[in-house]
Amino acid sequence: MQIMAAKQMCFGFPEKTGRFATITIARGQAFMFIPLHDANTLKHIGVQWVTLGLMAVNIAAWIFTAVESDQVAQATTVGLGYIPAIIFGHAMLAPGLEIVPEAATYITYSFIHTGFWHLAGNMIFLWVFGDNVEDAMGHLRFLIFYLACAATGALCHGLLSTTSEAPLVGASGAISGVVAAYLMLHPRVRVWVLVFFRVPLPLPAFIPLLLWVGQQFFMLLADPYGNVSWGAHVGGIIAGALLVLILRRPGVPLFDRQIVMPRAVKDRPTPIRVTASGMPVPPRLPWGRDKL
């Protein structure tokens, strides 16, 4: 049996429109929140180069598929997407559709998205949470972590549906691992989230993230063969929670047990002014005003 084309995205949304919120809320598949910002400075690295690089690759891949014809975009999705029926020997690609070796699709699928909102949803999670996980691991180990979570998500998806011919695409397996790692590292950090696309709230990270993780496991049981691969999400979560234990830097604590001062602040000398008699001088108020 040959797979000629994809009719439905297994890990996203078949529609290439801006109706992400309407469609997913109606189906009960939307995230319960959208992260906006976290009050969590970088402590070990200056710039989150890997996070930015991963975002750039995802965006570039989406732009390529968006500007090309539907036929080329579909061929890219089939050629780079993870197709369980091919991996497990139940089907084969039609001649000319294979772009990379089958094993490589455990990774390549995570850089392909089916529409702008599919991409945007994943990238906002990576932007808010990825930098601090990269900070806790270092650049190279974070890249290994991200790709391993993507591959584990694909494997779990495939094991749950070995004969599926629909391509699995999207970064959510890897993003799920990032979310799990952030939850393990910084559950008490305050995160601004947009709840139900409407209400901005500052919450300790463990509240929205635990709810989000619970939703993925619940949906896997409630809708295991739906349009979203909850199995890939759960696989990424499990991989992220385990890998952060061994890939974080030595001395980086879990569960916010220790407040680590950012290096830029820790190494900055604090000047102390004294009077001629040796008494400390109170700090000056802004704009040089000593009195209110």
157 — pLDDT class (breaks 50, 70, 90):
very high
Higher pLDDT, 8 or 290: 290
Domain boundaries, the chain: 23-264
Burial of 171 from C-beta contacts in 10 A (0-12 / 13-18 / 19+): buried
Does residue 39 surpass a pLDDT of 90? no
**CA–CA dist 235, 157 (Å, integer):** 8
Which residues, in sequence order, are CB contacts of 183 under 8 Å at separation 6+? Answer: 205, 206, 209, 210, 213, 241
Largest Cα separation within the chain, whole Å, is 92
Q: How far is CA 147 from CA 54, 236, 238, in A?
A: 10, 10, 14
CATH match for 23-264 among 1.20.1250.20, 1.20.1540.10, 3.90.1150.10, 3.20.20.120: 1.20.1540.10
Whether pTM > 0.85 for this model: the answer is no
Whole-number mean pLDDT of the chain? Answer: 82
Return d(Cα 101, Cα 257) in angstroms, integer: 44
Task: Give the per-residue pLDDT at 50.
Answer: 98
Q: Which backbone phi and psi does 140 adopt, to 5 degrees? A: -65, -45
Smallest Cα–Cα separation from 142: which of 56, 205, 52? 52
Residue 28 has pLDDT above 90, yes or no: no
